[in-house]
Amino acid sequence: MSAPNRTTPSLAPLRERQGRVAEGLVLLEAPPVSELRCHLFEARRLLLVEHRREWDPWLTAHGGFRVPGAAAPRILQHEHDWFVGSIDQLEWFLRIVEEDQHGGNRQALGQYWRLLLEALDRHITDEQRYLLAGILGSAEAGGPPHSPEGG
């Protein structure tokens, strides 16, 4: 089982761009709905397609391994499923904004977007802990260097 490709575009730039969008919505900035739709499309593509394609096979194969301080691989994989529902929920909020451009609707979209991005921050941090611990590189040689029991 090969490790996730470390050259795959990072989610950090996505998080930074979309953080500005979410914050702007909360502060009642009014970007066009078409721009918001493009941001959601980008999130769906990077987070739900490309990121999952890289990480899910490894997370499935190594669900029992653990790096101290990071969520277990099974939890990280569950979060990938949770992000699908979260992006769907953002699209629902966006449909409300499309129907009624009221500032409160935009703020609700921005607030939910911020919640998703906070969860994404922690998720990215946990995945990076696996990379930094060398777990992923050793996966190509048959598995992480230690089990959850420290063996």
Domain borders along the chain are 11-139
pLDDT in tens, 110-123: 999 999 999 999 99
In the predicted model, is pLDDT for residue 134 greater than 80? Answer: no
pTM given for the model: 0.79
pLDDT mean over 97-108 = 93
Distance CA 90, CA 133 (A): 34
pLDDT in tens, 52-90: 988 888 888 877 788 888 999 899 999 999 999 999 999
In the predicted model, is pLDDT for residue 143 greater than 60? Answer: no
